[in-house]
Chain A
Amino acid sequence: MNAGATGLPTVPEGGEPAIRSRDLTRRFGDFTAVDAVTFEVGVGEVFGFLGANGAGKTTAIRMLTGLLAPTSGEATVAGHDVSAEPEAVKRSIGYMSQRFSLYEDMTPRENIELYGGIYGLPSPVIRDRGARLLERLGLESAAGKRVGSLPLGWKQKLAFSVALLHEPGIVFLDEPTGGVDPITRRQFWEMIYETAADGTTVFVTTHYMDEAEYCDRLSIMVAGRIVALGTPTELRREHGAPSIEDVFVRLARQDASPPAAS
């Protein structure tokens, strides 16, 4: 078994996986948005969840985070069934997206207090973890400024840290690095590596194909189904492609037209 990007084993020996999805399916009327999706994510793994726009990623993530009930199939996240115990799932995970993460009219400190409160952390714990968080990010001087006035890169690092405030076993990152400069994007990935090295499972979507290469394992979704699953090295080898971008383009175009020779 190959070691992954973080140097951790990509599949845990025994024990419960962080995420287990079995034939997970969601229909909207006649349309099957997610079609019998089966995969597992190991504890402490950085798992990339790729797919074209409209492939069903968002619907799958909404089911895995307890926000949308599956039509059929099942999934366990952090040991909780997403259909039977969606509230327990929500308490066990962290979530950050590019579109919604922090309240822009509040300060970093106020956002930390709000999220800490929502997750039921006692005030002294919020204060203590909040202070450490701001120190680690070098954000002490900005703790009292409106989040909306901070540079995008700071906001995204802060949003990631806030999503980890209640120390969830799994964190879902939905296009966390959209639009940020190339240096900040890489600093963000180093935060992901550190988080995974601490044993937190990271489930991440991205449109940057170079970032797909940073994942321990990844899946590629096309038209509601997972059509590829493995380490970046395995997928490149299987498809005889020089990069994950080439693998992705070939698979995503498969249903529309034959792959372009390259």
Chain B
Amino acid sequence: MPSDVVVRDLSRRFDGVAALDGVSLDVRAGELFGLIGPDGAGKTTLFRILTTLLLPDEGSAEVLGLDVVADMWELRRRIGYMPGHFSLYTDLSVEENLSFFASVFGTTIAAQYDRIAPIYRQIEPFADRRAGALSGGMKQKLGLSCALVHEPDILVLDEPTTGVDAVSRREFWDMLQALRDGGLTIVVSTPYMDEADRCDRVALIDDGRILRIDTAAAFGPEYGRPLLAVRGSDRYGMLLALRRLPDAESVYPFGAALHYTDRRADADPGALAPQVAGALAAAGFADAEVEAIDPGIEDVFMSLMGGTP
């Protein structure tokens, strides 16, 4: 399968601090590719280089077979980019914004209507409203419409779901998957680990480096140590008690449960669970329930970050 994005040993520093440090990755044609990492990991720097808005210090990047430095003018016509911060004209209406972006690329809303309709129709009833007066979810839809209006061959979206509620996030991912099903290559960044499931493949990024690239389902089996989920009423008390166990590697709150990682890599998780439950019961946590679980992407990310509190 051909690659729409080819990044090799890309580095970029700001004031001597490495924002990107030797990043390499490939995005296949037609893929929905996620770049997942916290603020400051380097996601925006990478996207600004891919969209020709920033020059790399070292390394190379090609998008749609075009070099991001040498072929930047041609590339700009073919990329759809939605920056992380809402960057439309807040004093222009919904329709004026879309019309402006269409005209910049020499087209019109009418000519592109069928392409953008699945998304634009949801905000069309508010066509006369100032963009600044839209809700968060509607701003996203307008941003996406504007990024699509010139028929791009690849879509680059920088944290489109940050600060957006869980319902709007789901709807936005539904829209992205529909676009991908239509054949569009999409590269999207997010700080939300749980969105990895929505991507064909994801790259985990932290501190300017790629930690791992794989499908969301493939991350868990690489964890390599027994992982237990612990539930009970006094969660904070159990958290402190679990950390005192001699073979505890890490203990973290995880939604309704605690995730306990044991440092004995070869131990059978199924056999470990009753031992840990027994230790908690002996420490006075009578309602503690312990079960062996499969690690998820967030467990893997934290383990790759090297945090062992």
Contact = CB atoms under 8 A, between A and B. Distances in A.
B206 interface: yes
16 contacts: A7-B235, A51-B165, A53-B168, A54-B135, A152-B40, A179-B38, A181-B38, A181-B305, A183-B302, A183-B309, A190-B253, A210-B255, A214-B235, A249-B166, A252-B166, A252-B167
A233 B287 CA distance: 14
Interface of A: 2-3, 5-7, 51-55, 151-153, 175, 178-184, 186-187, 189-190, 193, 197, 207-210, 213-214, 232-233, 236, 243-245, 248-249, 252-253
Interface of B: 37-41, 135-137, 162-170, 191-194, 206, 233-237, 239, 252-256, 298, 301-302, 305, 307, 309
Contacts of A248: 166-167
A183 B307 contact: yes
Given A190-B239, A209-B166, A214-B253, 6 more contacts: A181-B305, A182-B193, A183-B302, A187-B309, A210-B194, A232-B256
A178 B191 CA distance: 9
B188 to A, nearest CB: 16
Contact of A182 (B164, B255, B301): B301
Contacts of A175: 163
B168 A52 contact: yes
A239 to B, nearest CB: 14
Given A53-B135, A189-B253, A252-B167, A183 B305 contact: yes
**Which 3 pairs across A and B sit closest by C-beta, in order of nearness?**
A181-B38, A179-B39, A7-B234
A186 B253 contact: yes
B165 A53 contact: yes
A190 B250 CA distance: 14
Nearest to A3: B233
Given A183-B307, A243-B255, A253 B167 contact: yes
Contacts of B234: 3, 7
Nearest to A197: B236
